[in-house]
Amino acid sequence: MRDGRIIRSLADAIALLREHEARPGVDVRDEVLHRLERAQNEQERREAADAFVAWAEELDLLLARPKPPIRRPERNPLPHCRVVWSKKEIIRE
């Protein structure tokens, strides 16, 4: 998060939502909070986490994620094999 906080769990997300200033009436924050609190199974938890991320992005609370380094294929580590990178399997010749 932009404030330096790291959200590692649904409990962390719930704590942040509870601390965030509520606006009069029912707003998106309340809906996201209730989804996180009421999630019963893995699919509901995943959907609630996605809703939390969307809410945080809408308010520009998230830091931009660093781009992952570009991984280049290594030289063939097994000279007696031909590596097919697109299928991620090794074909022995």
| Collapsed DSSP state (helix, strand, coil) of residue 92 | strand
DSSP state at residue 61: -
Closest CA to 10 of 27, 34, 20: 34
Q: Which range, of 11-15, 25-29, 57-61, averages the lowest pLDDT?
A: 25-29
Cα–Cα dist 85/73, whole Å: 8
pTM: 0.63
N- to C-terminal Cα separation, the chain = 50
Residue 24 has pLDDT above 50, yes or no: yes
What distances in angstroms separate CA 89 from CA 26, 81, 93, one per listed residue?
A: 52, 10, 13
pLDDT tens string 33-88? 999 999 999 999 999 999 999 999 888 888 876 566 666 666 655 555 555 555 45
